[in-house]
Amino acid sequence: MKVFLGGARGSWPVSGGDQVKYGGDTFALLAEGADGTQVLVDAGSGLRNLLERLRPGATLFFTHTHLDHLIGLPLLAGEAWPRQLVSPRGGLPDILARVFSPPVWPVALPAAETPVPREPLTIGGLRLSWREVPHPDGCLACRVDEPATGAAVVVATDIEWQAMSPDAQESFADFARAADLLVFDAHFKPEEYAAHKGWGHSTWADALDAARRCGATQLWLMHHAPERTDAELDDMAARAAAEFPGAVFARAGVGREILHE
């Protein structure tokens, strides 16, 4: 399985001279199986960096529908429009109709299947599962497994780790057990969290805790706060990597093959 990251920024897209290295596009991730199956997770503005790889017939899974996770969706209209838009939380057709309708957006979105699965989904050679995590309006963490190779990636874009009880954290760790790559919310610095309780996000130290608890070997920290500069992210990345060698502050445009160890 290969994983490509289109955008790692949180909340809203940014651009500027000191926000280049890590990119300003919001979250979109593409998991691609060895058999060519493509599963997109979320549709932030970072979708634009995935368009070249994307083929017709992909599945798009929504962790939730906050704007930063769907603002890139109109980009897909045309050849790249997904075969199915999956939201186990339901309500997707109504939500998209509210957002993408005149005068908010002038182009009607093409039709797609919008399944509301209750059980894990098998899509080609990939298996998709999910669980609720604490975040305002709710959010799903998702797991993409490739049974043929044993590779697994777990994505928790918007999650307030410290709002979870020890049991809930342990249940998440079971869900994410032995992931080869964990992609996790690192919106805040540890020293910022006290003033932002209830905002629905984690700190980079929380992400390290989650990675250790689930036994992930590689960790991509993401949902970078919009105001965060490259220099600040470099500093946070160095602090995180000193504590967890597999920790990387994710950058838009990176891709890697996920090998099961």
Binding site for Zn ion (CB under 5 A): 10, 66, 68, 158
Question: Is the CB of 32 or the CB of 68 nearer to Zn ion?
Answer: 68
**Contact 154/142 with Cβ under 8 angstroms?**
yes
Helices 204-214, 230-243: axis angle to 10 degrees equals 30
Q: What is the dihedral of CA 220, 223, 228, 233, to 10 degrees?
A: -10
Question: Is the CB of 7 or the CB of 82 nearer to Zn ion?
Answer: 7
Characterize 129-166 residue by residue with b for buried, 16 or more Cβ atoms within 10 angstroms of its Cβ, and e for exposed: bbbebbbeeebbbbbbbbeebebbbbbbbbbbbbbbee
SS3 of 194, please?
helix
**Contacts of residue 91, Cβ cutoff 8 Å, sequence gap at least 6:** none
Give the shortest CB-78-to-Zn ion separation in angstroms.
Answer: 26
Question: Is the CB of 66 or the CB of 251 nearer to Zn ion?
Answer: 66
Question: Is the CB of 11 or the CB of 37 nearer to Zn ion?
Answer: 11
Give the shortest CB-135-to-Zn ion separation in angstroms.
Answer: 6
Give the shortest CB-132-to-Zn ion separation in angstroms.
Answer: 13
Give the shortest CB-178-to-Zn ion separation in angstroms.
Answer: 26
Question: Is the CB of 185 or the CB of 209 nearer to Zn ion?
Answer: 185
Task: Give the nearest residue (CB) to Zn ion.
Answer: 66
Give the shortest CB-136-to-Zn ion separation in angstroms.
Answer: 7
Question: Is the CB of 24 or the CB of 33 nearer to Zn ion?
Answer: 24
d(Cα 233, Cα 143) in Å, to the nearest integer?
Answer: 26
Give the shortest CB-152-to-Zn ion separation in angstroms.
Answer: 22
**Contact 156/184 with Cβ under 8 angstroms?**
yes
What is the residue whose two structure tokens read 């704007």?
A: 67
